[in-house]
Amino acid sequence: MRIDIITLFPEMFEGPLNYSIIKRAQAKGLAEIHLHNLRDFSDNKHRKVDDYAFGGGAGMVMMMQPIVSCLEALKKERVYDEIIFLTPDGELFDQPIANKLSMASNIILMCGHYKGIDERLREHYFTREISIGNYVLTGGELAAAVISDAVIRLLPGVLSDETSALSDSFQDNLLSPPVYTRPAEFNGWTVPDVLISGNEKEIRKWQHEKALERTRTRRPGLID
Ligand code: 6GU
């Protein structure tokens, strides 16, 4: 899978996508992330990318020209399954959206900034608009990193069987049950007996009950 990220701050991605499982996925050739600095596509001699909002009001609006030039340059090279604009007023990102995106071959993530982008682009260029939560970030970069991580870890071959994405919280609309490791007693705190009973069937039953209980108390909205 190939992810093209259009951003004003490519340096912001140096950290989040270059460690652990996501780094290994790229090293193994399972995922490619390509960063594009929007300023490089500005026709303006000062590499300007924003302008005043028609109708006034505080805050600048991202200009159409650099975004269109960048999108057209990318679209000339390959066909994209999704061209996504990251914006706090997009649809809320969740596991089903991550699952769907993980089946794509090529996607574009466009990071919004300032007051947003010219509405005409939203009408004519983007196949989807996504937000990662009901709070405002300074730009779409952290959202692009979150989405890239959530999607790349689902690609075949990225996770080992034992960390399989199928047992994740949310994958079956349930939170994960509590987990424990050695030692079986620490500071007088013990591990539930069933987990050290060796009874596989009882263990699965306990885990399912705990997952249900946790979901009911913490995220009742996940259970319809
Ligand atoms: Cl995608 N962008 C910004 N600026 N803020 C957000 C967001 C995106 N998702 C949640 N908050």
The chain-wide mean pLDDT, for the chain, equals 95
Best residue among 132, 141, 147 to mutate for probing ligand 1, ranked by most atoms within 8 Å of CB: 132
Position 172 scores a pLDDT of: 83
Which CATH number applies to 167-223?
A: 1.10.1270.20
Q: Which is nearest to 12 in space by CA: 113, 151, 106?
A: 113
Flag whether pLDDT at 121 surpasses 80: yes
Position 170 scores a pLDDT of: 81
Share of the chain above pLDDT 70, in %: 99
Q: Sketch the domain layout of the chain as residue ranges.
A: 2-152, 167-223
Cα 151 from Cα 159, distance rounded (Å): 12
Q: State in Å: Cα 141 to ligand 1 middle.
A: 8
Flag whether pLDDT at 4 surpasses 90: yes
Task: Give 169-219 pLDDT, tens digit per residue.
Answer: 787 889 999 999 999 999 999 999 999 999 999 999 999 999 999 999 999
Burial class (CB in 10 A: 0-12, 13-18, 19+), 173: middle
Q: Which of 41-45, 76-80, 163-167, 185-189 has the lowest mean pLDDT?
A: 163-167
Q: Which fold has domain 2-152?
A: Alpha/beta knot (3.40.1280)
Share of the chain above pLDDT 90, in %: 92
Look at 114 and 155; give whichever has higher pLDDT.
155
pTM exceeds cut of 0.85: yes
Cα 209 from Cα 63, distance rounded (Å): 53
Cα 32 from Cα 124, distance rounded (Å): 26
Task: Give 82-94 pLDDT, tens digit per residue.
Answer: 999 999 999 999 9
Position 151 scores a pLDDT of: 98
Please compute the mean of the pLDDT values over residues 21-41 and round it to a whole number: 97
Q: State in Å: Cα 116 to ligand 1 middle.
A: 11
Position 131 scores a pLDDT of: 98
pLDDT band at 24 (very low <50, low <70, confident <90, very high): very high
Position 163 scores a pLDDT of: 65
Cα 44 from Cα 42, distance rounded (Å): 5
pLDDT band at 122 (very low <50, low <70, confident <90, very high): very high
Task: Give 141-176 pLDDT, tens digit per residue.
Answer: 999 999 999 999 999 999 987 667 777 778 788 999
Ligand 1 environment, Cβ below 6 A: 86-88, 112, 131-133, 135-137, 139-140, 143
